[in-house]
Amino acid sequence: MASRVVLLCCCASSVCLSLQPVLAAEERTENAVPYRTDADLTDLAKKRCRLDIVHPVGGRDLPTVIWFHGGGLTQGERQIPDAFRGKNMVLVGPTYRLSPQVKVAAIVDDAATAVAWTFKNIEKYGGSPRKIYLTGHSAGGYLSLIVSLDKKKLGDHGIDANQLAGVAAYSGQTITHFVSRRERGMPDTKPMVDEFAPLFHVRKDAPPLLLITGDREREMLGRYEENAYLWRMMKVVGQGQTTLHELPGTDHDGMVAPAHPIFLEWLQKQIAK
């Protein structure tokens, strides 16, 4: 379903109630947990391949949300949005290596490794491996999509991507990421769809997808249209569980805060299924 008009206030209040908020004092934070255990880790990987976890004390079988930070795959630090806290969920915020220190292929593998680590370890923190949701803004949205749609990425770590309960991308690229194109000397204005494009991996059996962008006239180059095309192709192949929202009047960065209530409402509906 594509949508251009969103009522934010009522969505936010209904979600807060249905997700059973808990007191902040009942949440515990684990910082800088390493998610790579390779024997030959570089100093860069040891520093960047870590994640933060926020989990309700004493929780069990809880939904788990992994938030990948943005920054164009060239900058950014791990974070967990305040809007997600206090809602009786386990929250995971990974960081990853960045370009130009590593290629996009390595960055994507870091993201997949973080997700695989979560599947294998989240029960220790009260989360359920059957209720893992990926999300993130911009580069984080791209990583959420490519890791979930290209089954090889998680498959290399022994995880079936179809085990994901859902994926939400905030203004994520669906064509080949511009950093990957720059690695090949291509300009931002030249589109490309190859193995590094979520669009390349459209499939009927993909997990439920939520695509949110800012206003098509204010967004980064073609970002709304990319997401609209992914939405259309998912519909064409019969996936039937992809929703598209455009937030009028918002730009690439300004769309994040109003997108949170939309994600939380969608999340609650997925949990209730």
Contact 63, 271 (CB under 8 A): yes
pLDDT tens-digit map of 199-257: 999 999 999 999 999 999 999 999 999 999 999 999 999 999 999 999 999 999 999 99
Which tokens belong to 216?
């098509």
pLDDT tens-digit map of 53-76: 999 999 999 999 999 999 999 999
Q: Is the pLDDT of residue 271 over 60?
A: yes
Residue 18 identity: S
| 3 state DSSP class of 6 | coil
Closest CA to 108 of 119, 122, 94: 94
Closest CA to 254 of 171, 169, 143: 171
Taking the C-alpha atoms of residue 155 and residue 163, their distance in angstroms, rounded to an integer, is 11
For the chain, the domain total comes to 1
CATH number where 57 lies: 3.40.50.1820
Contact 261, 12 (CB under 8 A): yes
Task: Give pLDDT, residue 20.
Answer: 56
Angle at 148 between CA 181 and CA 169, to 5 degrees: 70
Task: Give pLDDT, residue 215.
Answer: 98
Q: Is the pLDDT of residue 19 over 90?
A: no
Higher pLDDT, 134 or 18: 134
Which residue range is the domain that position 62 belongs to? 2-272
